[in-house]
């Protein structure tokens, strides 16, 4: 019985999705690519990798694509779920490292921690550091990377950590739900390769994060 | 209140009632929507034709300075109420769309 599923939410990633899906398929039982209403050939390219491809008929955001993929995986009796970005920034060969930690010591979630490349823009480093500090102040837990998309989790905890965010805030909301439900988590350093132009946190995105954190904190009270 | 202002307000109220009626006839609004909004627009027109009718309410609420502050306060309250209602509707519709899109994706995959 297949038990480890990888979910790859993808939006306009026709350049990388086929290779990413092929690489990921080596380390899990089944790969599910969720095409988030892409305007390019992401769906067709993902199909060429001979993996399961789900298609959202309109672009709904990464959070919805992830929810859809996980719910499909659970309907197929998934036991473990790996979440990984479609743009090839994560190294699929590190999946066993995450799964090993997940299986050890009853860990519920393993969070990948990006090692910032030395040539990352200063604003990017500052933005990430600032958001992580803000997260610590608001939620009392020190997480080294609240926005990284490379994670592994036990399928049975999904109902507890299910998120409402559609876009940028989804990873952070997942961690907030993990803390709120007192689930066991482990952090592990991962390698990051940026292939395209930088698409990370901007000042405006940071501001949105901040507003979203306040919203979630208010719901928590 | 200046007669010109009253006339402009009455024309606006009647125009809005016409749009309301047209939407109702096209079945874009329920009967309940139509009755509530008709009441609102006729109340608006009535207050413009008989401005002294609202003096009693003004005196109870101690809103001085003529009728303009009264309209400003209640207009602002009305608008913020409408904005909240629309926000809630947009959020609710967004959730419904999400559910439909996800259901279609999963059904097609199976």
Query: For the segment B69-94, what is each residue's pLDDT rounded down to a tens digit?
Result: 888 888 899 999 999 999 999 999 99
Residue in chain A lying closest to B108 (CA): A54
**Is B35 found in the same domain as B2?**
yes
pLDDT at A185: 94
Return the closest-CA partner of residue A99 out of A63, A151, A134, A177: A151
Residue A215 structure tokens: 């919203």
Return the closest-CA partner of residue A152 out of A211, A204, A116, A109: A109
Q: What is the span of the domain harbouring residue A26?
A: 4-220
Q: What is the span of the domain harbouring residue B8?
A: 1-49
CA distance A192 to A194: 7
pLDDT at A160: 94
Sorted by sequence, the CB contacts under 8 Å of residue A166 that are 6+ apart come out as A60, A61, A62, A63, A64, B98
Identity of the residue in A52, A53, A68 whose CB atom sits nearest the CB atom of B102? A68
Confidence of residue B15 (pLDDT cuts 50, 70, 90): very high
Residue A32 structure tokens: 């599910």
More confident residue, B30 or A203: B30
Query: How far is A60 from chain B, CA to nearest CA, in Å?
Result: 7
More confident residue, A86 or B109: A86
Q: What is the ipTM of this complex?
A: 0.77
For position A149, which CATH number holds? 3.90.550.10
Q: Is residue B95, in this structure, part of any structural domain at all?
A: yes
**Is B41 found in the same domain as B2?**
yes
**Is B42 found in the same domain as B9?**
yes
Q: Is residue B56, in this structure, part of any structural domain at all?
A: no
Q: Is residue B39, in this structure, part of any structural domain at all?
A: yes
Number of separate domains in chain A: 1
CA distance A182 to A205: 28
CA dihedral A163, A165, A171, A172 (to 10 degrees): -90
| pLDDT digit string, tens, across residues B89-106 | 999 999 999 999 999 999
Number of separate domains in chain B: 2
Question: Mutate which of B93, B103, B105, B110 to disrupt the A interface (most A C-beta within 10 Å)?
Answer: B105
Residue in chain A lying closest to B95 (CA): A164
φ and ψ of A60, to 5 deg = -110, -15
How does pLDDT run along chain A (221 residues), one tens digit per residue? 559 999 999 999 999 999 999 999 999 999 999 999 999 999 999 999 999 999 999 999 999 999 999 999 999 999 999 999 999 989 999 999 999 999 987 899 999 998 877 777 777 778 778 888 888 988 888 888 888 899 999 999 999 999 988 887 899 999 999 999 999 999 999 988 876 555 555 677 778 888 888 888 887 77
pLDDT at B63: 81
* Interfacial A residues in 53-92 facing B (CB < 8 Å): 53-58, 60, 64, 67-68, 71-72, 75
Q: Is the pLDDT of residue B50 over 90?
A: no
């Amino acid at each position: 019985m297949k038990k480890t599923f990888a979910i790859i939410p993808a939006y306009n990633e026709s350049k990388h999705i086929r290779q990413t899906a092929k690489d990921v398929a080596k380390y899990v039982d089944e790969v599910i690519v969720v095409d988030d209403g892409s305007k390019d050939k992401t769906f067709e390219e993902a199909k060429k990798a001979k993996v399961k491809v789900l298609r959202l008929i309109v672009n709904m955001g990464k959070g919805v694509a992830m929810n859809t993929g996980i719910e499909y995986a659970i309907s197929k009796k998934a036991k473990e779920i790996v979440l990984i970005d479609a743009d090839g920034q994560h190294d699929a060969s590190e999946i066993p490292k995450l799964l090993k930690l997940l299986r050890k010591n009853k860990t519920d979630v393993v969070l990948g921690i990006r090692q910032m490349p030395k040539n990352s823009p200063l604003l990017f480093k500052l933005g990430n550091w600032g958001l992580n500090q803000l997260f610590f102040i608001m939620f009392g837990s020190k997480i080294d990377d609240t926005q990284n998309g490379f994670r592994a989790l036990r399928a049975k905890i999904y109902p507890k950590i299910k998120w409402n965010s559609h876009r940028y805030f989804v990873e952070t909301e997942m961690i907030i739900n993990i803390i709120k439900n007192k689930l066991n988590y482990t952090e592990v350093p991962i390698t990051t390769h940026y292939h395209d132009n930088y698409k990370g946190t901007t000042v405006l995105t940071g501001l949105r994060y901040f507003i979203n954190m306040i919203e979630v904190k208010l719901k928590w009270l | 209140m200046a007669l010109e202002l009253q006339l402009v307000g009455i024309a606006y109220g009647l125009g809005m009632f016409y749009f309301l009626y047209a939407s109702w006839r096209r079945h874009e609004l329920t009967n309940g929507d139509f009755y509530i909004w008709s009441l609102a627009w006729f109340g608006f027109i009535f207050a413009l034709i008989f401005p002294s009718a609202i003096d009693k309410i003004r005196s109870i609420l101690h809103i001085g300075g003529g009728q303009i502050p009264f309209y400003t306060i209640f207009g602002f309250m009305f608008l913020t109420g409408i904005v909240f209602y629309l926000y809630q509707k947009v959020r609710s519709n967004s959730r419904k769309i999400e559910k439909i899109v996800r259901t279609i994706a999963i059904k097609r995959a199976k």
